[in-house]
Amino acid sequence: EGLRLAQVSKPPSGVDISLPGRPVPMGRLHPVTQTFRDICAAFQSLGFEVVEGPEVEWDYYNFEALNIPPGHAARDMFSTFWVDYTDDRGGHPMLLRTHTSPMQVRVMEKTQPPVRVIVPGQVFRYEATDATHEAVFHQVEGLAVDESITLADLKGTLYEVARLLFGEERKARFRCTYFPFVEPGVDMAIDCAVCGGEGCRVCSGTGWLEILGAGMVHPDVLSRVGYDTRRYTGFAFGMGVERIAMLRHGIDDIRLFFQNDLRFLRQFR
């Protein structure tokens, strides 16, 4: 009986099909992709729609439409990769987008309020890297425009998303800051998960890690796209995706995400 079985299962090629198969390695999503998806799901649960936009952008959308004309000192906030682009009508300033905020303007040009969108995407800055800064990184932009939107809506939305992403335990902090395209402007920080708020190189000894800039959309930006600023107000924000992934997993160096070291990447889900 044993002999007959062996004869039946052995094909002419000599391959022994009774041997266990070679395991097929299972791929998994990069931790930044996982975080992107979790951020989008959190905002979608609050009624935001996901849209995407170009990575090579006009100076107009990246700067001018956001109240940063040529020569404005606020351009120094964004170290920029410029692109040479010339057609038969001459040269036009283009760049690798330094933030996802240009999509605020592109969306408003095409849509009438109420607007509730988020924009996940890659952004580029000509800057030296360290434990919390990369030259190529990811942001999620958010924009809500409607009648009677206030700073309280901005804070309520971002607190709720922080609760969904980080749990009840994490602390969130808002502080006033300056962006030319909002008034007032704020940034939001989360207490550092790497040191528990004691102070380390990730939080530069402060106990807090900044995750986003935000504010009430400046009336000049709204009127530039033709919105009636007596009727509509809005809030907007831009959050750093790697910073959020660092806080969620206690990662102490942003550069680990892009070194393609499988020992690091295999730890996530």
Contacts to ligand YSA by CB under 6 A: 99, 101, 125, 127, 133-134, 137, 139, 179, 181-182, 210-215, 236-240, 242-243, 254
CB of 85 to ligand YSA, least distance (A): 23
Nearer to ligand YSA, 94 or 235 (CB): 235
CA distance 111 to 230: 18
Residue 215 backbone zone (phi > 0: left; psi -120 to 50: alpha; other: beta)? left
Distance of CA 215 to the CA centre of its chain: 17
Nearer to ligand YSA, 90 or 139 (CB): 139
CA distance 29 to 91: 40
> Angle formed by the axes of helices 151-166 and 241-249, to 10°?
40
Nearer to ligand YSA, 17 or 73 (CB): 73
CA distance 151 to 185: 10
CA distance 144 to 162: 17
CB of 45 to ligand YSA, least distance (A): 21
CA distance 22 to 31: 27
Nearer to ligand YSA, 27 or 152 (CB): 152
CB of 112 to ligand YSA, least distance (A): 20
CB of 179 to ligand YSA, least distance (A): 4
CA distance 83 to 96: 7
CB of 91 to ligand YSA, least distance (A): 26
Nearer to ligand YSA, 165 or 182 (CB): 182
Q: Could you tell me the two tokens for 90?
A: 């001459």
CB of 163 to ligand YSA, least distance (A): 18
Nearer to ligand YSA, 6 or 126 (CB): 126
DSSP-assigned beta bridge partners for residue 58 = 94
Q: Could you tell me the two tokens for 7?
A: 């004869």
Residue nearest to ligand YSA (CB): 240
